[in-house]
Amino acid sequence: MSLGYQDKLYILAFDHRGSFQKKMFGIDTEPAPEQVERIADAKRLIFEGMLEAVRLGAHAGATGVLVDEQFGSDVPERAREHHLALAMPVEKSGQDEFDFEYGEDFAAHIERFDPGFSKVLVRYNPDDPDSAMNARQLGRLKRLADWLHGQDRKFLFELLVPATEQQLLAVDGSAERYDAELRPELMRRAMAEIQSFGIEVDIWKIEGVDERADAEMLAEQARSGPGRQDVTCVLLGRGASTEKVEHWLAQAAPVQGFIGFAIGRSIWWDALTGFLKGELPRPEAASQIAANYLHFLRVYERNLVP
């Protein structure tokens, strides 16, 4: 299997675990069985929204879900039944440092669910003063990448570049200025360091940027080096407002090397909150999720280069 992935890919992401149970359900300890079922049912509702989007015209071949094993219930099996692309996370939830959710058994869990894409979320800042943590992460990620590609499996890499204290000081503490002025080049450098360590990625799942030139720079970095000509990028939503996500999509969509998005909370958070509060019936919540997903899909596709 060659490195990379070229088809369109529009992913609805709901693999959130620790943050999901705490922020959506107020559970900050190990959930009891009845709580696990309630969380799992919420994820089934999100998936019902995805199926509604397909019914309304989203093409199943380009449509995908990113869902976890812990709370995902029967969603992976149902995704395959409906011919949706399936991505599943490998990382332990709620940690600043990447590690395997299932330790030495990571391979067995991937083989059991057989997702089309194995995904990691990694926080990596090339200027992080804790260089030892970055080194540990790189070692684990190299092990995973080598195993995946040795098994002809695809690697979906979600890269977050949180600001260091010094970087925030340089922009007077402004998160907006950090995103606009510093983060794009830091992302490129992080990608380059990861690649230089020998970690090969098929799809980079990256934070949005405000300028098309920055999206072009990141797509170019993704494809730099021998054998990476088919490596691509998808845009994540980061729970941002509809207007912000629309802008990010508009910058990325025309860029060669971007093939879609993997958006989560920006699509389903409000609808799911309304349902859990009893303010929104289940069918209406699913319809709202479908409408939000289709909205972002249309924004992306109308910005594609003809």
User: What is the residue extent of each domain of the chain?
Assistant: 9-302
Nearest Cα to 276, choosing from 49, 19, 45? 45
pLDDT recorded at residue 264: 95
pTM of the shown model: 0.95
HSE, CB side, 13 Å, CA atoms: give it for residue 165. Answer: 2
- pLDDT of residue 1 exceeding 70, the answer is no
Alpha carbons 110 and 107: distance in angstroms, whole number:
5
The pLDDT tens digits of the residues spanning 21-41 come to 988 998 888 899 999 999 999
Alpha carbons 105 and 114: distance in angstroms, whole number:
14
Nearest Cα to 263, choosing from 145, 158, 117, 113? 158
Mean per-residue pLDDT for 164-192? 97
- pLDDT of residue 263 exceeding 90, the answer is yes
The pLDDT tens digits of the residues spanning 45-82 come to 999 999 999 999 998 789 999 999 999 989 999 999 99
Structure tokens at 71: 């709370």
Nearest Cα to 143, choosing from 200, 221, 96, 188? 200
Structure tokens at 230: 């088919």
Mean pLDDT of the chain: 95
Task: Provide CATH code, domain 9-302.
Answer: 3.20.20.70
**Looking at residue 30, what DSSP letter applies?**
P
